[in-house]
Amino acid sequence: MKMPVFLLGVSVIFWGWQTGLWFFALPIALILEAANWLPYRWDFSASDFRRIANFCLILLCGLLVYLLVANRSIYLIYNLLQWLPGVFFPLVAAQVYSVKESLDIRLMFLWLNKATKKAPLNPLMVNLNYPYFICCLLSASTANSRDISFYAGIFALTAIALWSVRPKNVSFILWLGLMLIAGSIGFIGQMGLHQLHLAVEQQAISWLSQGNSQETDFLKKQTNIGSVGLLKQSNEIIFRVASEAKQPPPRLLREATYNRYNSSLWLALNPNFVPVQPKINGTTWDLGDQLPNPSTITISATLPGNQGLLKLPDGTFKIDALPVSQMEKNKYGTTKVVGKVDMLAYRSYFNNNFSVDSQPTEDDLQIPKSEMAALNKILGQMDTQGKSPPEILDKIEWFFMKNFVYSLKLRGKDNDATPLSTFLLNTRSGHCEYFATAATLLLRKLGIPARYAVGYSVHEFSPLENQYIVRSRHAHAWTLAYIAGKWQAFDATPSDWESMEDAAAPRWAFISDLWSLLSYKILLGLRYLSGSNGLKYGGVILLALIFFWRCNPNFKKTVRLFSKKQRWLKAIYNKDSLSPKSEFYLIEQALNESGLIRPPSESLKNWIERLKKEKPELSCLEELALLIEIHYCDRFDPEGIKDAQKAELKLAIKSWIEQYRRQAIASNSQVNKSGKSTIAFLR
């Protein structure tokens, strides 16, 4: 089924328009459509097509590995589908520029390669134009265009494709009316499917993100206070921190802050997010006024789902080298961003002696009534009367260090007490969420405004990477206390928690660390290349071409260029295809010169039988049956024929050609009844 001219190229351009991949779509469309005008075709063998198909498979696997490294989210499948037309372009281009108009579909599957070699006479020939057309439409749909342009383009391209295969006896008016009705129904249906798609996608994201400690909700934080069991920790490296002043970075990097505690749940009341506008360069963002004597660190992290919360040190007033499309900041210092970037490597400017968070409110002094009794008992055991705020912090820190222990075992709660009260008065054993919550409420009970903060502890230096690495198990919670006119971090968790968790790390963690480092370096290289379009696209294409060339060093020797005017050469791709090594091709050449052409789909035997009926005056055609049988034996029999038989075949073919030419000349005037039989040479 022949595809209308320009339809394939237009579908590729439509894919580039919807996905924004113009740099790839335009040259692909030009190359594919140029085949309709160029008069030359290449002689690709089955082995050549197999190599090209394997090359496309390598591209697909490489793309999948890159996406797995760069984007570990539900959106990975969308990104993979977007690139399919580019991945399979080499195979489609090879087909449109080949003397064949289709290829054996089994060549595209590695497990069927042996079948293509064992059964060369039974190919499953398929023209890839329409499958590639469908692939372009599918890839275009992954761009999630919200306007009517996508549906209009899909409808127009589909209508053109269907028009080319319509029954010729169908009225144009009737066909157009049916198409418009189908298009209208489809438009209404796709709006419903879009809503269903959004609902399913959100549910899938919710399922996949359950238990993922990296997904922090800026509105609420459900702690594990009161749970029973063992708190599981992951050793995965999730981001890296480099200090530019050859000094250790801040020990704590904050993600979110909350101010209302209620039954193991921390909430951020009225966060009041406000947009932050970037500078002219689009990558510099001011979060507050310029502070004196700033320090800087560079944080390298991914952005799951193309959105998330930034990890920042206290006192951050400016962020640089952050190529996101949107940023918002609330009054508690929580900063969220949105942007289609695979990796972030942003620079934070900060001064720990200053605070850019909002002033405290009454909510920063609120205490649940259910926790009052336990807090009063604990304060009765501490000497805080008449102490200054800094001295109170020291008292609370010392009290927890002396009387409590750090543990990841979740012991639950008593039936007659809250989980926090059980921790303070009974078990006195817990993880950072217990200590941070208790310290926050104790400070509030003493009249010091306090908030609950979550983020990560930065304490593990990697000599291999020459920077600090932060793992998932380094997630931490602490208290923000408002003292001397600014918010300052206060960590009441016993300091040995870091060494305890490091000691429990698996011994084989270095293997995953090496893989994480490799992934990180690959992403850094790709991020660097993305800064230049020439390096971004040209280098990848050049490497791909070099790889393909090296995979087939005999490419120049095996692939020949033919003109479409030499139609008789197409016969070499039939199952009875001839080879210059066989003398029988001289007979076909002689017949072709007389205008007796064999179509590529017609076998040698059927061809000769047809010529007998069309040219009964050529009695020599009767003698070709035996020559064909001997030719088949020479070509397809594993043992072949002997040298003596080959010599006899050569003489017989030469004699037949001479006899044919005599009969052809004589047939123009009268039938030649003489002529020595060529079969005698074979007996």
Residue among 98, 90, 88, 92 at smallest CA distance from 38: 98
Residue 573 has a pLDDT of: 41
N-terminal to C-terminal alpha carbon distance within the chain: 48
User: Token match 């050609």: residue?
Assistant: 657
Angle (nearest 5°) at CA 89 between 84 and 92: 120
Neighbours of 264 (CB within 10 A): 18
CA separation for the pair 379, 396 (Å, rounded): 9
Helix (H, G, I), strand (E, B) or coil at 536: helix
Tens digit of each residue's pLDDT (9 = 90 or more) over 85-132:
999 999 899 888 887 777 777 766 655 555 555 544 456 778 888 889
- Can you say how many angstroms the Cα of residue 548 is from the centroid of all Cα atoms in its chain? 22
- Can you say how many angstroms the Cα of residue 339 is from the centroid of all Cα atoms in its chain? 16
Angle (nearest 5°) at CA 682 between 680 and 683: 70
Residue 214 · residue 304 · CB < 8 Å: yes
Residue 402 has a pLDDT of: 92
Helix (H, G, I), strand (E, B) or coil at 239: strand
CA separation for the pair 17, 157 (Å, rounded): 14
Q: Which residues on adjacent β-strands are paired with residue 475?
A: 456
- b/e for 624-654, b at 16 or more Cβ within 10 A? beebbebbeebbeeeeeeeeeeeebbeebbe
User: Token match 């490597």: residue?
Assistant: 345
Residue 679 has a pLDDT of: 42
Helices (H), 275-426: 372-380, 389-403, 419-422
Q: Which residues contact 158 (CB under 8 A, 6 or more apart)?
A: 137
Q: Which residues contact 374 (CB under 8 A, 6 or more apart)?
A: 417, 418, 420, 421, 424, 425
Residue 262 · residue 368 · CB < 8 Å: yes
Residue 662 has a pLDDT of: 82
Residue 75 has a pLDDT of: 60
pTM: 0.53
Residue 641 · residue 634 · CB < 8 Å: yes
Residue 524 has a pLDDT of: 67
CA separation for the pair 452, 557 (Å, rounded): 72
CA separation for the pair 198, 639 (Å, rounded): 64
Average pLDDT for consecutive 10-residue bins of the chain (683 residues)?
Answer: 80 87 88 85 79 86 77 66 90 86 70 51 73 88 69 82 76 81 78 63 47 60 75 79 83 92 88 88 87 89 83 92 90 88 84 85 91 92 88 93 87 75 90 93 94 93 88 91 92 85 69 74 62 47 52 50 46 42 73 77 78 82 79 69 78 84 71 44 42
Beta strand 274-275 with 326-329 is antiparallel
